[in-house]
Amino acid sequence: MTPVLALAASDLRQRRLLLAASALLGLFALGAPLLPSLPAGQPGELRAATALLLLAVWTPLLALIAGATALAGEMADRRLGFYLARPLSTWKIWAGKMGAAVLLPLLAGALVVLPAALAGDFRATHGSGGAKGGWAVGLWLLTMLGLVLFAHAAAIALRSRRAWLLLDLGALAVAAVLVNRALWVFVRELVPDAAGAGASALAALVLAALLAAGAIAVDRGRGEPAGAHRALSLTLWPPVLAGALGLLLFARWVVDAPLGSVKEPRVWTPAGAGTWVTVSGRAAHRFGYQPRFLFDTASGRAVKTGVGWPSWPVFAADASHAVWLTQAKKFALSEVWTLDLAREDAHPQRSPIEFTGWPQWLELSPRGGRLAVLRRTASSSSASGTGASSPPRGAIPRRRSKGSASRQKAACGSSRSTAEHSEPGSTCGTSRSAGTSSRGAGSTSRTHACSGS
């Protein structure tokens, strides 16, 4: 037996009680239908569900324990010299110890699901599984590997009790901010395929960085905790930070698709838009991204307004302004964006107006000074609403609260106005009009108006 296998076998023998506990959990899942406290149902489905639940809870816990105790304790207590006194390289020591740490949750997971699998419960409940079953098993294997490597790196950093831990926390915070911004771009622009591809690439990079950092920490540290922690940090964080920044740049590249990249564009010419049209379609080589543009046929100017759905822009009758909705940072809200079409250097501007959900209808007043929004109540099957007469131009309300009511000032150019509102999450005035319902009278619709004077 090679030294690596001998070390791995020795570690697994020391943790045989955990494997025995895993076998008992598998037998517990097999007898789950006999428990009176569980709901009645198909015995096979109940056994399979219990086994999968135990697998999801037990094996991650074992992976964290195995990774944290594989080498960090021996390095902190300076007991690694016992292995170094033998004709063993640090790479072989690391490979044997970490190999046992990875094998422990895998063997435990197999013991948990084995009784239910031998009883045919998974085949009867989920069929042969096919590609989905293979993806699930692969994801579980990678998750166990990642948890072991993460616990190993975290244990080295925590046990060293050095100032390098502050560097680790700072680098982790920066990476988290970059990843969060990238994922928000994917969510806002509705490109799940790009998000999946980018996240998978980053996860693979992080796994490789953890693998290399753990091995180099053991090799450079050689039983000295401070040296091992320093080597770990210097090896781990540069590729992780570069990967997080790369994910953000990749997200920006996906959503910065130009108008010329749109294949088979759909063109919509709304009333009152003047020379402006709305163009949307799937962008080439952008993971299914479907951007939406405002395009001026007279000047050739194109302005990106987001994705091709769920809200199309509406225009003022004098073609001075356009307004549309986009996803707000809070998933339950949508926010209003506006563009001054009369200015060639204008860019889309986010207004402080937010709505709960997505209104069914938007309309701008003839000169762009008032925005009407119609939403159905929960009990109505159809609704209608109207706004008041149009004031001079002014389309960007600003919110200010006073007492229990709020007043908003809207400004565009030099004109200003105020409007009362009582609708939560909106800075628009609210009026009620009678609506029709499949249940008869009693349902209403709401019309919100943002006005200038």
Residue 432, classed as helix, strand or coil, is strand
Tokens of 147: 């948890």
CB-CB contact of 313 with 293 (8 Å): no
154: exposed, middle or buried (Cβ count in 10 Å: 0-12, 13-18, 19+):
middle
Q: CA 42, CA 421: separation in Å to the nearest integer?
A: 55
pLDDT at 112 over 80: yes
Q: CA 164, CA 232: separation in Å to the nearest integer?
A: 10
CB-CB contact of 155 with 69 (8 Å): yes
Q: How many helices (H) and strands (E) does the chain have?
A: 11, 15
Q: Average of pLDDT values for 150-174? A: 89
Q: CA 7, CA 218: separation in Å to the nearest integer?
A: 15
**How far apart, in Å, do the first and last CA atoms of the chain sit?**
88
CB-CB contact of 96 with 4 (8 Å): yes
Q: Average of pLDDT values for 51-80? A: 85
- pLDDT single digits (tens) 283-303: 999 999 999 999 998 888 998
| Distances from the Cα of 255 to the Cα of 262, 263, 296, 304, 377, angstroms | 12, 15, 21, 10, 35
- Per-residue pLDDT band at 431 (split at 50, 70, 90): very low
Vertex 52, ends 50 and 55: CA angle to 5°?
110
Q: At what angle do helices 225-255 and 164-189 cross, to 10 degrees?
A: 20
Q: CA 190, CA 331: separation in Å to the nearest integer?
A: 12
The pLDDT, as a whole number, for residue 358 is 82
Most confident of 228-232, 387-391, 402-406: 228-232
Phi/psi-derived region of residue 288, left when phi > 0, alpha when psi is between -120 and 50, beta in every other case: left
pLDDT at 228 over 90: no
The pLDDT, as a whole number, for residue 243 is 97
- Per-residue pLDDT band at 125 (split at 50, 70, 90): low
The pLDDT, as a whole number, for residue 327 is 83
Q: Which of 103, 104, 105, 249 is nearest to 181 (CA)?
A: 249
Please name the helix (run of DSSP H) or strand (run of DSSP E) that holds residue 85, with its range, or none: none
The pLDDT, as a whole number, for residue 60 is 96
CB-CB contact of 160 with 226 (8 Å): yes
- pLDDT single digits (tens) 366-386: 887 788 888 765 544 333 333
Omega of the bond leading into 310 within 30 degrees of 0 (cis): yes
pTM value is 0.74
Q: 12: Cβ–Cβ under 8 A, 6 or more apart, which residues?
A: 19, 100, 103, 104, 107
pLDDT at 414 over 70: no
Rg for the chain, CA atoms, rounded: 31
The pLDDT, as a whole number, for residue 127 is 53
Sign of CA dihedral 287, 290, 292, 298: positive
Strand ranges across the sheet with 444-450:
361-364, 371-376, 444-450, 429-434
